[in-house]
Structure 1
Amino acid sequence: MPSTFSYQFDTPSHKGITEFSTGLFINGEFVDGSENSTIDVINPATGKLITKISQGTPKDVDRAVAAAQHAFETSWGLKCPGAERAKLMNKLADLMEEHEDELAAVEALDNGKTFYWAKNADLKGAIDCIRYYAGWADKIQGKTIETNDGKLVYTRHEPLGVVGQIIPWNFPLLMLSWKIGPALATGNAIVLKPSEFTPLSALLTAKLAKEAGFPPGVFNVVNGYGATVGAAIAEHMDIEKVAFTGSTLVGRKIMEAAAKTNLKKVTLELGGKSPNIIFDDADLEAAVNWAAFGIFWNQGQTCCAGSRIFVHAKIYDEFLHLFTEKAKQVKVGDPFHPDSKQGPQVSNAQFDRIMSYIDSGKDEGATVHHGGVRVGDEGYFISPTIFTDTRPDMKIVKEEIFGPVGVVIKFDDDEDVIRQANDTVYGLACSVFSQNINRALETAHKLKAGTAWVNCANMLHASVPFGGFKQSGIGRELGEYALENYTAVKAVHVNFGHQWSVA
């Protein structure tokens, strides 16, 4: 039998006990992995062990897929009306709301984000997302299409079957909801792999899904590494669709695996190097606040982070001064302390990666205007960092750092800044700050990105699609658009029998 994780929280933000299994969740039960091996889960605030979880293997993926296929054919899919699926999804959302402090505490412990943001942003967004898609569950419908008066033609949007979903470590609970919401609403059964760095909130959610009453096999969680469990999901011949959020490099591998096997549908939400353009007519105070949120939120571990901050020459000095003061106000520390605004990076490997980019910026001649250092003696904390005096060819300007590191770039020509902003392989998001709405919208329309924020940054809603251009991904998450990824359209031709014709 798999071990049970029991943890006593005694912090200024949350007090209480959480308890759930650390096994794989397959066919409605927590079970050990086939090799009885484990993965260490580390607290990024201390660098110390939290617990061990069962490590899945390709054989365990086979077990989960078989359970999901059986559930799809016997108790889910077209066997379960949309209204019933909606009830179960709303029940899960209700349970998540009942356990919101517990879920947020587990997320903060496991990921390092502050308890405040885990509860008020991630968890709230996750619950909203599941409820949003519960509302769609009985509204998955096709069309009748006119051909001639002797024939009826209509379309059906049918669930695909078993879908694989691979979620990242930066927003574990939120990304879980983005994946399972449209998949469950459309009647698919799920095999989900959380990140090996942050698996705990997915396991706690699996416990709540069982309590909500989902049929066994509808929702399965297989812990493990990307090279084994993730690869097995991407290559599996009985998985009809895979959804992945993570790096562009891994996204390419998943797409290649899907192409070499059964041509499963693929949606990819990948990296970004988002531009934030601040014109000289912007509301400066608002632009500074949003720019800080855009790059420092979630320790900078955000795919749509506004990491390239272009500021008009007329306001550059004043903006830089105010932006620096704002960065100094970001309190870095214990995720459970009410005053903390930024927690640790998720892992030692991520900490080292970010610090290597900071060293690269220095080596290539950029100026560390603020930060760029480790904070504290334990854990993986990095100070909010601002670079100036950069060149377009520098690594810190071109590559995704995925940390609290922004570059501030001066410009004085509207068309040139658009060219600079689009000079990237990525195209996930962008922000534009101007009180001239024509200028703002014209700029937003010219930027090659899947999301354009005007006078704001990093604002996400369950009803609004999210995804990228270029190497930032394929397909869309959230909103009605995401439903298209989880259904197959079938055209049905009904001949009334009045005549026979080859026409």
Structure 2
Amino acid sequence: MSQSTNESPRTRDDWHTLAGSLSLETRAFIDDVFVDAVSGETFTTVNPATGEVLAEVASCDAADAEAAVTSARAAFARGGWARLAPAKRKKALQRLADLMEANKHELALLDTLDMGKPVSSSLGDMAGAIACIRYQAECIDKLYGEVAPTGEDALALVLREPLGVVAAIVPWNFPLMMTAWKIAPALAAGNSVILKPSEKSPLSALRLAQLAREAGIPTGVFQVLPGFGHTVGKALALSMEVDCLTFTGSTAVGKLLMQYAGESNLKRVYLECGGKSPNIVFADCKDLDKVASHAAAAIFHNQGEVCIAGSRLLVENSIREEFVERVLKAAETMQPGDPLDPESFMGAIVDETQHRRILDYIRQGVEEGARLRTGGQAIDGPGLFIPPTVFDGVTPAMTIGREEVFGPVLAVFGFDSEEEAITMANDSVYGLAAGLWSQDIDRIMRVTRRLQSGQVFVNNWAGGDQTTPFGGVKQSGNGRDKSLHAQQEYSELKSVWISLAP
């Protein structure tokens, strides 16, 4: 884009004006050039807030995947990135972060137009994406190898080397932030990376490719293949020349990708999959209004299209009725609106398929006997909007109490004891996140240790920064994004034993 990148849009009108000036890249980025898909096929990306077509985007398939993998493998073999001095890789990634900062309004706008999230949320995502690139760049020369303890007749080294070609398949709910979480540590470690953005939100990834080229990332080291999971995604997962597959998305697709890895070359697979996260509120909390506001935001942020959404609210029965009323009051302030209005808390649901899916879950909740307290109906008019929806009296046997809705639907459970709360929280195939609200430090330590979750938020929801790893247990996946641990995921250990002359 252009002159607009240096402007700071503040109002709804500013953002609409900026949207009208966009120039969209819609081709795949392979071997340092933008190209149409080999087949010539395209798919349509639509603004879910208006129903308007944004663009026709190249729909890559197996032929495009093969071309990208060939380029990535050649780049890795040349060593222009993999064997580049760490300090120089760091500078290139820092330049990329600087370019993202300079174009953050455009990047945020692309994600908002593509998948419907509020632009204020997209700006927060951009800050997170930029911070991730910068953090992983700084980590490049902070990870040391090891010298193992031996006798005087040998020297044993433990070296850390890049894996090779990494394919990153990212979701549509946080398009560019999830992209950064995957590509930053993989590139920092020296790998060649092929990115497959979701077909529901490909535009910011293609703009990122332009910025990566401008930042000096060498040919073949970073490529972008827009398209569908069952075509180009499957081809990458089955490729014998892809060394690692990293994925954020549904558990069902994650299982398929693991199968494909086994059918091909046993490539390393890192998965961040679904969640049905419990948010536990004990009666000893002091400021129930504050806790209720956080509990509402934990599910209604990003329209509930969040892997760690606090979708199961477990409240001690002695305060449940009172607390639910406070949650309902907070939800009234979180209604959906124009995603280009900075004052909107919620935006549009990403597409018609997800919109129907959420409404089906709501219908099931009513049919299975949960008490609908607010919401539950699609909002009339153009665009795909569903208001905050709260069910009380949910039991673990109910569909909305067990399955991931991935929408603005809160299921409220009651409990009478600490042990019951722990049992209920862990009664899930998922284990991505959990929340705990209490003033009792002894209880906090007891419960935190027993929750089966990759991360536990105590007296907050979704806290953390780039220094803390992010990932799940059970069917929420494996591996970790963010922190030093992420860069370690994308490297291999090599032991070297050197015999020394006596």
Same fold flag (TM > 0.5)? yes
Secondary structure of residue in 2 paired with 1:96? helix
Q: RMSD value over aligned CA atoms? A: 1.7
Paired position in structure 2 for 1:24: 28
- Whole-angstrom distance in 2 between the partners of 1:73 and 1:181: 20
For residues 23-46 of structure 1, give each alpha carbon's deviation from its aligned partner in whole angstroms, at most 9, with x where no partner exists: 000111101110011010010101
1:277 corresponding residue in structure 2: 280
- The aligned counterpart of 2:306 is 302
Could you say if the C-alpha distance between residues 353 and 116 of structure 1 is closer, same or farther in structure 2, counting changes exceeding 3 Å?
Answer: same
- Name the structure 1 match of 2:351: 347
Q: Check conservation: 2:237, 2:261, Cα contact below 8 A.
A: yes
**Partners in 1 of 2:234 and 2:463 — Cα distance?**
32
Structure 2 gaps, min length 5: none
Judge conservation of contact 2:81–2:221 (CA < 8 Å) in 1.
no
Match of 2:235 among 225, 232, 236: 232
CA contact (8 A) 1:40 1:53 kept: yes
Match of 2:193 in 1: 190
> Please, which of 228, 245, 269 is the counterpart of residue 242 of structure 1?
245
How far the C-alpha of 1:76 sits from its partner, in A, is 3.4
**1:11 CA displacement:** 4.2
Shift of the alpha carbon at 1:459? Answer: 2.2
1:80 to 84, 88, 91: 84
Amino acid at match of 1:144: V
Read off the aligned partner of 2:427 and give its amino acid letter: D
Whole-Å separation in 2 of the counterparts to 1:214 and 1:433? 45
Structure 1 residues 201-220: aligned runs within 5 Å: 201-220=204-223
Name the residue aligned to 1:483: 487
Aligned twin of 1:262: 265
SS of equivalent to 1:178? helix
Contact 2:335 2:388 in 1 (8 A): no
Q: How does 1:339-418 map to 2 (within 5 A)?
A: 339-418=343-422
Q: Which residue of 1 aligns with 2:497?
A: 493
Give the counterpart letter for 1:72 in structure 2: F
Paired letter, 2:159? R
> Which residue in the other structure is 1:59 paired with?
63
Contact kept in structure 1, 2:282 and 2:315, CA below 8 Å: yes
> 2: CA distance between counterparts of 1:136 and 1:484?
10
Residue 75 of structure 1 deviates from its aligned partner by 4.3
Q: Does structure 2 conserve the Cα–Cα contact (< 8 Å) formed by 1:45 and 1:380?
A: yes
Whole-angstrom CA distance in 1 between matches of 2:275 and 2:255:
15
Shifted more, 15-24 versus 225-234: the winner is 15-24
Corresponding position of 1:338: 342
- Give the C-alpha shift of residue 483 in structure 1: 1.6
Structure 1 contact 275–309 (Cα < 8 Å) conserved:
yes
Deviations 1:363-390 (A, max 9, x none): 1111111101112311110010000122
Matches of 2:160 and 2:142, distance apart in 1: 10
CA distance in 2, matches of 1:152, 1:467: 36
* CA displacement at 1:463 relative to structure 2: 1.4
Secondary structure class of the residue paired with 2:135: helix
Which of 413, 419, 424 pairs up with 1:420?
A: 424
The answer to whether residue 453 in structure 2 is matched with residue 452 in structure 1 is no
CA distance in 2, matches of 1:299, 1:63: 37
Question: Which 5+ residue runs of structure 1 have no aligned equivalent?
Answer: 499-503
Give the match for residue 13 of structure 2: 12
Q: 1:36-185 residue pairs with structure 2 within 5 A?
A: 36-119=40-123, 121-185=124-188
Amino acid at match of 2:113: L
Q: 1 CA distance for matches of 2:75 and 2:483?
A: 26
Q: Is the 8 A contact 1:75 1:215 kept in 2?
A: no
Match of 1:501 in 2: none
Aligned mates of 1:260, 1:286 — CA distance in 2: 50
Question: Residues 76 and 187 of structure 1 are in contact (CA less than 8 Å); yes or no, is this contact kept in structure 2?
Answer: no
Other structure's SS at 1:19 match: coil
Alpha-carbon contact 2:25-2:203 (below 8 Å) kept: no
Number of aligned residue pairs: 494
Deviations 1:331-371 (A, max 9, x none): 31110113211001111100000000000001111111110
Map Cα deviations across residues 405-431 of structure 1 (whole Å, 9 max, x no partner).
001111111101110111010000000
Contact 1:88–1:213 (8 Å) recurs in 2: yes
1:314 aligns with 2:315: no
Q: Report if aligned partners of 2:12, 2:342 keep a CA contact under 8 Å in 1.
A: no
The letter of the residue matching 2:446 is E
> For the Cα contact (< 8 Å) 1:344–1:382, is it kept in 2?
yes
Q: Partners of 1:495 and 1:359 in 2: how far apart?
A: 70
Matched, 1:286 2:287: no
- The answer (yes or no) to whether the contact 1:76–1:189 under 8 Å persists in 2 is no
Give the Cα separation in 1 of the matches to 2:46 and 2:249: 20
1:324 aligned partner:
328
Deviates more, 1:306-315 or 1:425-434: 306-315
With the length of structure 2 as denominator, give the TM-score of the two structures. 0.96
Alignment check: 8 A CA contact 1:81 1:138 kept: no
Deviation at 1:13, TM superposition (A): 4.5
SS at match of 1:277: strand
Code of the residue aligned with 1:83 in structure 2: it is A
Q: Distance in 1 between matches of 2:188 and 2:416?
A: 49
Secondary structure (helix, strand or coil) at the match of 2:159 reads strand
Secondary structure class of the residue paired with 1:18: coil
Match among 242, 251, 261 for residue 254 of structure 2: 251
Equivalent-residue separation in structure 2 for 1:399 and 1:468 (angstroms): 16
For structure 1, which segment, 347-356 or 440-449, has the greater mean C-alpha deviation from structure 2 after superposition? 440-449
Equivalent in 466, 469, 481 of residue 465 of structure 1: 469
Aligned equivalents of 1:12, 1:338: Cα separation in 2: 10
CA displacement at 1:48 relative to structure 2: 2.0
Measure the CA separation in 2 of the matches of 1:489 and 1:263. Answer: 17
